[in-house]
């Protein structure tokens, strides 16, 4: 058979594409459920890490069910939209909507008998998206713990935001000023200070990623301002 | 000697090493070797994929229309890589997070296309399988060697476990930050090539 004729080449290409398409969709279909579970489990792990819970070698599902009491949805005005379903919200999709339409998840948790609130964040680093969770004490002002991660920041530089050393710097910082207005927490160059707000040291060599974290805190946590005001001291 | 020279499994480990002699797959060798674990996983995934892609191409080599052979090779590689990546996401999620974009980059790894075009298109399936395993392991070996040095001196650890004792840090020892950066991988690779050529006189050019 002449394998170099036009018709042979075209039929060959067509059959190859159909066979490959079938194989890929089969693989994707078979593994989809398991992959979805992994993504979900990873998100639960991230939320627990922001609450300073040690997740190593633990049953994440059980731990999460024990600690996270409610995943409520609020809007920018701070009004309660739903008592549950906060976990399923995709922040990236919400950020693309108009501010008044955005749904914001709040995880109401209980750690060692005290109520904690976890807020969700998403922003941009140097090479791609960065995200994180900020857990607050009952006063909705003092940071209890934090978690940051990234899609592809430079290892050793920007990627340091995912380390315990950077994340533990946020513990005990306040996001409101003395008048009770939202001022966020500044990420500054090591050794510098910020006026009128709490601050942490950024990553040396990872300035753009540090600025990204600073901006993410200001914007993502800023969306919760009304919720914080309405629910403080309740 | 002649027998060893033509052995598809053993020559890529030394005299025809994909990285140090064929100089293929350098990009991924720089990118994933800052830690030992991703280096090892990358090496093994490439080994599996080259071996199977080689076998598949070798089996259908007589039917492939010459004009679209590169496209056919690319489709076979891309399919295998996608399947491996999906399986990793389902059964080794942590590893797939670490490898993230690099799994996709296996498709563009020159070793794959290089071996398919140079070997599988003109050899039988069994020889092609051995060639794939050999080249994959030759690649993995170099990656692991570079990853070992970079993680040990860059993070003071191996496979994430602290190796360098805290007392040494207390005495003023510091991790070498340059080791984590890609340029250091290039320098280490150059050292390996240098050593390799000084040992194997046949590789030296006049």
- List, for residues A108-123, the tens digit of each pLDDT value: 999 988 999 999 999 9
- Look at B34 and A155 and tell me if their CB atoms are within 8 Å: yes
Query: What's the pLDDT score for residue A156?
Result: 67
> Structure pTM?
0.72
pLDDT of residue B197: 87
Hey, are the CB atoms on A23 and B89 less than 8 Å from each other? no
Which residues in chain A have Cβ-Cβ distances shorter than 8 Å to B121?
A: none
Cβ within 8 Å, pair B64-A155: no
- pLDDT averaged over chain A? 89
- Total H helices, total E strands in chain A: 7, 8
State the average pLDDT for chain B. Answer: 84
Chain B residues with CB-CB distance to A9 below 8 A: 65, 67-68
Q: Which pLDDT does position B179 carry in this prediction?
A: 83
Helix (H) or strand (E) holding A207: helix A207-216
Rounded Cα distance between A20 and A16, Å, is 6
B5 located within any domain: no
- Is the Cβ pair B79, A31 closer than 8 Å? no
- Give tens-digit pLDDT for A81-92: 888 888 998 888
Residue B15 domain-assigned (yes or no): no
pLDDT value of position A121: 94
User: Is the separation of the CB atoms in B129 and B66 below 8 Å?
Assistant: no
Inter-chain residue contact B180 with A20, CB threshold 8 Å? no
pLDDT of residue A25: 95
pLDDT of residue A234: 59
> pLDDT, tens digit, for every residue of A12-44?
999 999 999 999 999 999 999 998 999 899 899
Residues in chain B within 8 Å Cβ distance of A31: 86-87, 89-90
Spatial contact of A176 and A226, defined as CB atoms under 8 Å apart: no
Q: Say yes or no: A156 contacts chain B, CB-CB below 8 A.
A: yes
What domain count does chain B have? 1
Each residue's pLDDT tens digit, A166-179 = 999 999 999 998 88
Q: Which residues of B touch A (CB under 8 A)?
A: 34, 62-68, 71-72, 75, 79, 82-83, 86-87, 89-91, 93, 97, 100-101, 154, 177, 180-181
Indicate if the pLDDT at residue A148 is higher than 90: yes
- Segment A36-69, tens digit of pLDDT: 999 899 899 999 999 988 887 778 888 999 899 9
Q: Is residue B106 part of a domain?
A: yes
Who among A12, A16, A35 is closest to B89 (CB)?
A: A35
- For residue B175, CA distances in Å to A156, A197, A203, B140 come to 11, 33, 16, 25
Which three-class secondary structure string do you get for chain B?
CHHHHCCCCCHHHCCCCCCCCCCCCHHHHHHCCCCHHHHHHHHHHHHHHHHHHHHHHHHCCCCCCHHHHHHHHHHHHHHHHHHHHHHHHHHCHHHHHHHCHHHHHHHHCHHHHHHHHHCHHHCCHHHHHHHHHHHHHHHHHHHHHHHHHHHHHHHCEECCEECCCHHHHHCCCCCCHHHHCHHHHHHHHHHHHHHHHHHCHHHCCC
Q: Choose, out of A16, A23, A32, the residue to mutate when testing the contact with B (most B CBs < 10 Å).
A: A16
Low-confidence ranges of chain B (pLDDT < 50): 1-4
* A contact test, residue of B34, B67, B79 with most A CBs within 10 A: B79
Has residue B4 been placed in a domain?
A: no
pLDDT value at position B59? 92
Please tell me which residue of chain B has the smallest CA distance to A1.
B63
pLDDT at position B113: 86
Asked if A16 has any chain B CB less than 8 Å from its own CB, the reply is yes
- Contact indicator for B102, B32 with CB cutoff of 8 Å: yes
Domain that holds residue B56: 23-197
ipTM score over 0.85, yes or no: no
Q: Tell me if B112 is assigned to some domain.
A: yes
Interface contact B75-A27, CB threshold 8 A: no
A28 touches chain B (CB under 8 A): yes
- Rounded Cα distance, B153 and B181, in Å: 12
Q: Percent of chain A at pLDDT above 90?
A: 53
What pLDDT does residue A233 have? Answer: 66
- Domain ranges for chain A: 48-231
User: A127-131, A188-192, B10-14, B162-166 — which one is most confidently predicted on average?
Assistant: A127-131
Characterise A204 by phi-psi region: left (phi > 0), alpha (psi -120 to 50), beta (else): beta
Closest approach of A226 to chain B, Cα-based (Å): 35
């Amino acid at each position: 058979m002449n394998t170099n004729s036009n018709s042979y080449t075209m039929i060959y290409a067509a059959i190859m594409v159909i066979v490959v398409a079938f194989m890929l969709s089969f693989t994707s279909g078979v593994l989809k459920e398991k992959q979805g579970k992994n993504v979900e489990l990873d998100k639960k792990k991230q939320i627990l890490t922001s609450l300073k819970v040690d997740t190593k070698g633990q049953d994440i599902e059980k731990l999460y069910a024990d600690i996270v009491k409610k995943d409520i949805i609020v809007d920018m005005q701070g009004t309660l939209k739903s008592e549950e379903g906060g976990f399923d919200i995709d922040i990236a999709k919400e950020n693309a909507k108009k501010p008044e339409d955005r749904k914001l998840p709040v995880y109401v948790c209980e750690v060692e008998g005290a109520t904690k609130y976890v807020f969700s964040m998403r922003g941009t680093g140097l090479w791609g998206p960065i995200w994180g969770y900020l857990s607050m004490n009952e006063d909705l002002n003092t940071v209890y713990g934090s978690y940051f991660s990234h899609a592809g920041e430079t290892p050793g530089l920007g990627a340091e935001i995912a380390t315990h050393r950077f994340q533990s710097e946020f513990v005990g910082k306040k996001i409101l000023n003395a008048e009770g207005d939202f001022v966020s927490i500044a990420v500054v160059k090591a050794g510098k200070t910020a006026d009128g707000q709490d601050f942490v040291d950024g990553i040396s060599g990872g300035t753009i990623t540090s600025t990204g974290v600073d901006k993410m805190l200001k914007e993502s946590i800023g969306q919760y301002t009304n919720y914080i005001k309405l629910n403080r001291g309740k | 000697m002649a027998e060893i020279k033509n052995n598809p499994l053993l020559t890529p480990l030394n005299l025809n090493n994909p990285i140090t002699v064929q100089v293929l797959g350098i990009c991924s060798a720089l990118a994933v070797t800052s830690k030992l674990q991703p280096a090892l996983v990358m090496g093994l995934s490439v080994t599996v994929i080259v071996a199977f892609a080689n076998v598949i191409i070798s089996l259908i080599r007589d039917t492939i229309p010459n004009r679209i052979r590169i496209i056919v090779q690319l489709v076979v590689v891309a399919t295998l890589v996608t399947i491996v990546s999906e399986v990793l996401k389902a059964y080794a999620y942590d590893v797939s997070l670490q490898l993230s974009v690099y799994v996709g980059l296996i498709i563009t790894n020159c070793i794959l296309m290089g071996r398919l075009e140079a070997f599988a298109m003109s050899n039988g399936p069994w020889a092609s399988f051995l060639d794939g395993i050999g080249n994959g392991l030759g690649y993995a070996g170099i990656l692991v060697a570079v990853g070992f040095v970079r993680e040990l001196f860059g993070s003071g650890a191996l496979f994430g476990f602290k190796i360098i004792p805290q007392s040494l840090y207390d005495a003023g020892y510091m991790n070498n930050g340059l080791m984590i950066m890609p340029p250091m991988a290039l320098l280490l690779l150059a050292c390996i090539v240098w050593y390799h050529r000084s040992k194997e006189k046949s590789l030296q050019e006049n």
